[in-house]
A and B are shown apart, each in its own frame.
Chain A
Amino acid sequence: MDLFLQNIVNALQWGSFYALIALGYSMVYSILMLFNFAHGDIFMVGSYIGFGVATALLGFAAMTGIPLPGWLILILTIIFTMFFTSFVGIFIERVGYRPLREAPRASAAITGLMIGIILETGNLAILGARRLSFPQLIESTTYQFGGVYVTNKKILIVGVSLTLMFLLHRFIQKSKWGMAMRAMSFDFQAVPLMGISIDKIAPLTFAIGSALAAAAGILYGLAYPVLDPYMGILLGWKAFVAAILGGRGSILGAALAGFMLGFIEIFAAWIFPSTLRDVIAYSIILLILTLRPHGFFGQAHSTQLRL
């Protein structure tokens, strides 16, 4: 029983990473009907920018002698990194996606993949092959509830990601921009006629998605401090699976499916030998998609590929 609860805690932590990244995929899809395949690498870039910001803030604190507490640095890091990384998203939209809006969907997918490779290799070329270790901004303490061990980092990770998801939900439901995004995802042909420019909404979507991925990157860096340029590939593809599983374009679905993927993976590794984790997890996903071909919250409509 204790082990079961412990695994739930671990699954919640993994699920938060997947959910935060999957949200970015899903939001971009709901607006452009395209997936941003560079998103996993935006997560990686976010992690590196977070590393830079945190190091700079620590250096600033040491230089000026102002005793900045760890949690304040963490909050500042998250805010600054989300801000900076959103520009990466805007840049990718401008370079790779805006010219290809009318092109076959696969072309945009390839462009996204290639931008991802450029981000990875560029990172490798600039920073070299040595692995960076993410600064530990808060001291790790372990709480024990019954037989379940919960570190404060796990609470922080789940808490921060749930907060961000809640903020995103409020933004999309209540703000004017959020309303424009919802309208755009409802009908991207009629809405531009109402004076909402897709050239504004699409970069905004990319920016928000990238900011969420950056937050995931920092949280990941807190939990697993070693950064390397290829860390975004596997996590990104898995989050992409989660985004589809939730039903493409469905924000709630993406978040739930992200957590679900975390649960499936952790419990597959717990019940079966851990090397079989991927086999079991993806077989379950294959089964789900065979039974429910449009995910959990997706609308059942057939799409014609624009080719």
Chain B
Amino acid sequence: MASQEQNTRQGNKKGFRAWLQKLLAGIPLIGWISGLFAAVLIEYFLGDLISYYLGLPKIPVLFGFLTVLKKPLLMPGTIGYLILVYGLPILLIAKSLRKPANKLAAFLDKGPVSVGAVIHLGLFYGAMHFWTDLSDYRLLVLKLTMIAIMLTLSINVINGYMGEFSCSHPGFMALGAYGASTITLLLFANDKLFGDALLPEALGLYFFPLALIAGGLIAALGALIIAIPSFRTRGDYLAIISLAFLFIVKSLIENLEFIGGPRGMSSQPNYSNLPMVFIVMVLCIWIINNFVRSTMGKALNAVRDNELAAEVMTVNTRKTKIIAFMFGAFWAGVAGGLFAHVLRYVNPGSFGIQRLAEILAMVYFGGLNSVTGSIVGAVSISILSEALRPLEIYKWIIIPLLLILVMLFRPTGLIAFTEFNPKELMKPKKKRIEEQ
């Protein structure tokens, strides 16, 4: 009965939107990912050829944004390229693979979530591998985007789920970056600062996760400085305490000569390759998602909504606050460690107020209290800030304007207060019309 009603309602919908909905209905996530994979393969093997015939000088690196903004005359060619290489193949493959993909999704749905997730992520990683193989710029943008996702998620634990306004995230990131860099430079690299490597360099890549964890732990220890005052105060005063923490960390690093002082640290070994960043990011999303859906995550929301009531309801608010701060800081530190090894250069200047504005923009753009929102916010702001690069400084007028508009019309961000459920995402999708 309900489906009947739904059908009539869908039947009443007219025009382009209904057509589009009908066109895209019934394709599970794995179908889309295989479409993406095929599109990326087409670009990998035929990209040069297609762009040559469309009159483009080379393959549009970042979905053609850069090309079009630099040379507007190439717009038709770029749009044609996007449709030929991405639009059509994704749609066709996803559409034609609908039945087997649904069967596979239904099969995976029966098994544990982790198996399905590994298969989806593996396919997605394959697509990204070929996509980034074409240009180093893409690789860099993708890595930085993934790091941004981790940062945004970890600040969402504090600012979104616990509802504080913490300004210290670049500080945690700096602690992690310097911690991890110190370990790798000291042990595995010959550099100016610490001299020769203490351990064989071949071991480096295996110890790198440990270095990341150590960086994260240092950041988590630093978070205690903010967590302890947060017992007595919150809101604006805590914002200032965290801001003071940021200034202190930055200034302290500038003054410590043995880690480079204001000149920073350079020539970190190239350990942050794509698989490493990808795996760490997936782990981060998985753990944070489980964390915020656990009892502890609910306790965070309780502390945010009413601290006194939470305390009465047997929530240990002090423990909750300490854990949330340390947990968020830990992942910020890990992201900082990755960041240092992606750029292979850090200086205290990269962890200032500008970085804070960027991270805050991502989390409030995407949406508070939502893992999906964090991912959306981080990806859209990082891709946008790369794509608008040819506009030079006008970029920094357009992005803030966009954020102001989002804040005016959706004050909690684009996708706020939603739960991220991988099982739901990977479920097979049935076409509604076939249900009859």
Partner-B contacts on A (CB < 8 A): 29, 35, 95-96, 99-100, 103-111, 113-115, 117-118, 120-122, 124-125, 233-234, 237, 240-241, 244-245, 248, 273, 275-279, 282-283, 285-286, 289-290, 293-295, 302-305, 307
Nearest first, the 6 A-B pairs at minimum CB distance are A103-B411, A293-B233, A114-B400, A278-B251, A121-B396, A107-B411
B397–A122 touching, CB < 8 Å: yes
Chain A residues within an 8 Å CB radius of B361: 110, 113-114
Question: Considering only CB atoms, which chain A residue lies closest to B241 in the complex?
Answer: A289
B255 A241 Cβ-Cβ under 8 A:
no
- B407 near A107 with CB under 8 A, answer yes
Residue of B nearest to A107 (CB): B411
Establish whether residues A286 and B234, one from each chain, have CB atoms under 8 Å apart when the complex forms.
no
Give the complex CA separation of A285 and B305 in angstroms.
Answer: 28
B241, B247, B248, B305: which has the most chain A beta carbons within 10 Å?
Answer: B247
Determine the chain B residues whose CB is within 8 A of the CB of A111 once the complex forms: 403-404, 407-408
State whether B229 touches A118 (Cβ < 8 A).
Answer: no
Please tell me if the beta carbons of B360 and A110 are within 8 angstroms of each other in the complex. yes
With most chain A CB atoms within 10 A of its CB, the pick from B164, B240, B254, B408 is B240
Residue B307, interface by CB 8 Å: yes
Whether the pair A100, B397 counts as a contact (CB closer than 8 A) is no
Decide if B248 touches A282 in the complex (CB within 8 Å). Answer: yes
Residue of B243, B252, B254, B305 with highest tally of chain A CB at under 10 A: B243
Q: How large is the interface on B (under 10, 10 to 19, 20 to 34, 35 or more residues)?
A: 35 or more
Residues of A within 8 A of B234 (CB): 302-303, 305
Q: Does B165 contact A (CB under 8 A)?
A: yes
Given A117-B396, A305-B163, the answer on whether A279 and B408 have CB atoms closer than 8 Å is: no
Expressed in whole angstroms, the minimum distance between the Cβ of A110 and any Cβ of chain B is 5
Q: How far is A114 from B250 in the complex, measured between Cα atoms in Å?
A: 23
With most chain B CB atoms within 10 A of its CB, the pick from A285, A293, A303 is A293
> Does B131 have its Cβ within 8 Å of any Cβ on chain A?
no
Q: How far is the CA of A103 from the CA of B255 in the complex (A)?
A: 41
Q: In the complex, what distance in Å separates the CA atom of A304 from the CA atom of B250?
A: 30
What residues of B have a CB within 8 angstroms of the CB of A110 in the complex? 360-361, 364, 403, 407
Give, as a whole number of angstroms, the nearest-CB distance from B243 to chain A: 7
Contact residues in B for A275 (Cβ distance below 8 Å): 251, 254-255
Q: How far apart sit A234 and B233, CA to CA, in the bound complex (Å)? A: 24
Residue of B at shortest CB range from A283? B248
How many Å lie between the Cα of A160 and that of B177 in the bound state?
46
| Contacting pair A117 B357 (CB below 8 A) | yes
Contacts of A276 in B (CB 8 A): 251, 255
CA distance A279 to B348 in the complex (A): 14
A104-B235 in contact given A241-B243, A290-B229 (Cβ < 8 Å): no
Residues of chain B contacted by A248 (CB below 8 angstroms): 236-237
* Nearest-Cβ distance from residue B52 to partner chain A, whole angstroms: 37
Q: Which residues of B contact A241 (CB under 8 A)?
A: 240, 243-244
Say how far A130's CB is from chain B's closest CB, in angstroms: 14
